[in-house]
Amino acid sequence: MWVTALLLLLLLPLLLLLLGRRGASRLEPAGRAVLITGCDSGFGHLLALRLHRLGFTVFAGCLCPGGAGAQRLQREAAAGAGRLRVLRLDVTCGRDVQAAKELVLSHLPDRGERQEV
């Protein structure tokens, strides 16, 4: 009896996870773009690589565009289909933020779906 109860307790989270994913829809990357900050290293860097490999257009904001992380992203961009762009982005600098906004908007098709933030 204890073995059955323990087995159910161990399998319940897995079952809930599988059932929860059944209704989840997957976002198709084609025609979608994302701007990610902090792509020099860590989570931002890995997210930029992952989303690019999944087919999203990625604008990767790096504090140091000449740094090792940005150079790795540049190599990924050169091997890709032109969907990864590395840009200088210091989010504490208004000029960088404005330049990033202009760059992103200039590379997106105007579909009337754009929302200003």
Nearest 5 degrees, angle CA 104-CA 105-CA 108? Answer: 90
User: Percentage of the chain surpassing pLDDT 90?
Assistant: 56
Number of domains in the chain: 1
Query: Which has the higher per-residue pLDDT, 61 or 21?
Result: 61
Within a domain: 46: yes
CATH number at residue 81: 3.40.50.720
- Lowest mean pLDDT: which of 23-32, 36-45, 97-106? 23-32
Q: What is the pLDDT of residue 99?
A: 96
Within a domain: 24: no
Within a domain: 26: no
Within a domain: 3: no
Given a cut of 70, is residue 97 above it in pLDDT?
yes
Query: Which has the higher per-residue pLDDT, 15 or 39?
Result: 39
Which structural domain, as residue segments, surrounds residue 77?
33-107
The answer to whether the beta carbons of residues 58 and 52 sit under 8 Å apart is yes
